[in-house]
Amino acid sequence: MAATDFGVVINGREEAGLSGERFSRQSPFDQSVVSTYPNCGLEEARLAITTARSTFDSTRWPTSRAADRARVLTKASQLMLERVDDFARWISLEAGKPIRMARSEVTHSAHVLGYYGAAANDLRGEAITQQVPDAIGLVIHEPVGVVGIITPWNFPLSLVVRKVAPALAAGCTIVAKPSHFTPAVTLMLAKLLTEAGLPDGVFNVVTSETDNGALVGQELAGSNKVDMVAFKGSTEAGKAVARAAAGNIKKIALELGGKSPNIVFADCDMDEALKGAYNGIYLNSGQVCQAGTRLMVQRDVKDEFVARLIEMSRAIRMGDPLSPETSMGPVVNEKQFSRVKDYIARGRNEANLVFGGSQPQDPALEKGFFVSPTIFDEVGNQTTIAQEEIFGPVLSVMAFDTPEEAITIANDTMYGLASAVWTNNINTAFQVAKGIRAGTVWVNAYHNTSLNNMPYGGYKQSGLGRELGAVGLHEYLETKSIQIQLRGAAGAR
């Protein structure tokens, strides 16, 4: 296929960029060039920020009726559902995600847009009198202002929509910088929102790679014209964003790394727990911040559980992401490919490799960045593969005996993003769910994204703030108290 040329979106128009410099994106499946983009630098970033700032200060969007913002988001949701295949195709081409998973990501994103379309109409203030005869208090919520949004490549549509939708529902204006590995769907989202009725200048998108990308990201985080930055990526990159944002004490929302425990008790429904463990580590080739990378199994059933999981893993079909038969695609790029292989090499010295660990031998896969599903057993929780985020299909299995021990092992990490517990004992479920220091705990499930009204985010070094649900909307709002002194009222002085 011929590569598709994209432009950036500033003030509602597609632009070629100011410098004329471009970069290309290669498919992680066969390394063919699938798309090209403007390689924006500080000049384009500042233009996009100034556009978002002037659009916000003109007050047209931030003071628009909630019904108008709701209408745009609801229409955008409908349009996206009509174009699932188009969006999914670009996710597969650029990210290497199997097309079935890509379609699910698009559908989820459309539902998030629809959810915040409804939520925009539910924004309410409150009146407070506290039985004071001569005063009334009003508490109102206003948009935070200009939001810089920086998103990664592993879920290139849903992770930007989870930030864009509540920011627009609140009345904010936006400058987004997607990963240079997967910019297509963010630019497609910008065009879709314009078609849905979003005013020009509200949602702006700049693209850049490598050195320019770092400069643009730092400009978004550090600019005095930006009121908030919402970032999704690694913990180290999140720390750099936080340092830059401290310059004008802007609000930050960070969704960072994870090393999530997936805890299986002997009394669970083992068939369902096996499905959960399988999806928990292999979804998107393990390139998921909330992946269940630490599989903790009660000692009495661990050997049986691991043996059955290995048999399930043998059935994984790696191949062309655009094929409906493919269940696992490549990792996103050569750097990630090398990173995962390095961790597997470390794991060989730290634990017992019981499955995988080598590259697939299929000649049809030789051009792609494919990593075989890999399982290590008898992993100590202080080993490298148990403590560091690998971002690949590499599972660390460890045994435990009691709920108390499981909680201790689960919490012995710098991360606290997600977790799961599998048991048929409600008391055990609550004990472990309450004991784990993580922002999300699934009980008898993993990667459950069907509840768009549930807040999502991390403890400890997994992030700051929450997205999704009403809490996710309030991240993009400021709260104002208005105190009104009544004159002539009984008791007034």
In this predicted structure, what is the pLDDT of residue 119? 93
The rounded distance, in Å, linking the Cα atoms of 214 and 184 is 19
- Beta-carbon contacts of 335 under 8 Å, excluding residues fewer than 6 positions away, are none
Segment 179-206, tens digit of pLDDT = 999 999 999 999 999 999 999 999 999 9
Structure tokens at 39: 């390689």
Q: Given 289, 389, 467, 475, which residue is catalytic?
A: 289
The rounded distance, in Å, linking the Cα atoms of 368 and 422 is 35
In this predicted structure, what is the pLDDT of residue 298? 98
Q: Known catalytic residue: 255? A: yes
* Cut 0.75: pTM above it: yes
The rounded distance, in Å, linking the Cα atoms of 24 and 439 is 37
In this predicted structure, what is the pLDDT of residue 121? 87
Amino acid in the structure at residue 7: G
In order, the DSSP letters of 56-82 are: HHT-TTTTS-HHHHHHHHHHHHHHHHH
In this predicted structure, what is the pLDDT of residue 493? 47
- CA distances (Å), origin 472, targets 116, 209, 277, 332: 10, 29, 28, 28
Residue segments in the chain with a per-residue pLDDT below the cut of 50: 492-493
Rounded to 5 degrees, φ, ψ at 430 are -70, -40
In this predicted structure, what is the pLDDT of residue 486? 85
- What is the three-state SS of 390-439? CCCCEEEEEEECCHHHHHHHHHCCCCCCEEEEECCCHHHHHHHHHHCCCC
Structure tokens at 155: 């879920």
Q: Known catalytic residue: 289? A: yes
Structure tokens at 194: 């314009």
Q: Given 15, 44, 209, 255, which residue is catalytic?
A: 255
In this predicted structure, what is the pLDDT of residue 190? 98
Q: What b/e string do you get for 90-122 counting C-beta neighbours within 10 Å, with b at 16 or more?
A: bbbbbbbbbbebbbbbbbbbbbbbbbbbebbee
Distance from first CA to last CA of the chain, Å, rounded? 79
Do 155 and 178 touch, CB atoms closer than 8 A?
no
In this predicted structure, what is the pLDDT of residue 453? 81
Rounded to 5 degrees, φ, ψ at 180 are -70, -5
The SS3 of residue 376 is: strand
